[in-house]
Structure 1
Amino acid sequence: MTTLMMGSLYDALRQAGADEEKAREAATDVADHGNRLHAIERRLVEITGRLKFHRLLFGFLIGLGVTTLGLVVRLSIVV
């Protein structure tokens, strides 16, 4: 797997006096962290969409249940 590195962070660390290997590792770690956060964010967007759908479905089913209960009560009064 290709590892990405934040070039600006690497350059800043090198200019601050960090050795090449440590600057490369730090920049790679920060880039990997950003990639993980992006994946989590995408997953949360998916979950939010599913929750909206389930909330809509639940509301429909509650309405259907109330309507059915109303019809049962109405028919039991008539009979």
Structure 2
Amino acid sequence: MLGNLYGALRDAGVPDDKAQKAAEEVATCKDEIATIKGDIQLLKWMLGFVLASVIGGFGIVIRLLVG
């Protein structure tokens, strides 16, 4: 896909060195976005675990108060 970007920039008249650098920057950004998506997925799981723990804790406290 990045080869397509490089080719499109070359077809648009962008000099070779600038087209190469632009394609490399997009590749770097793509890798960073993948890393961020992974981090967000991990945070979602952690938040779910914390919420389940809090709800379970409230359940235990209510059970102790009532019984």
Q: Same fold judged by TM-score > 0.5? A: yes
Runs of 4 or more above 2 Å deviation: none
Q: Tell me which protein shows more helix as a share of its residues.
A: 2
RMSD after superposition: 1.9
Identity of aligned residues (%): 14
State the 1:31 CA deviation.
0.5
Listed as ranges, the gaps of 5+ residues in structure 1 are 1-5, 13-22
Listed as ranges, the gaps of 5+ residues in structure 2 are 1-5
Q: 1:62 aligns with which of 51, 55, 58?
A: 51
Which residue in the other structure is 1:76 paired with?
65
**Who wins on radius of gyration, i.e. which is larger?**
1
**What TM-score comes out, normalization by structure 1 length?**
0.67
Matches of 2:29 and 2:52 in 1, distance apart?
A: 35
State the aligned residue count: 58
**What TM-score comes out, normalization by structure 2 length?**
0.79
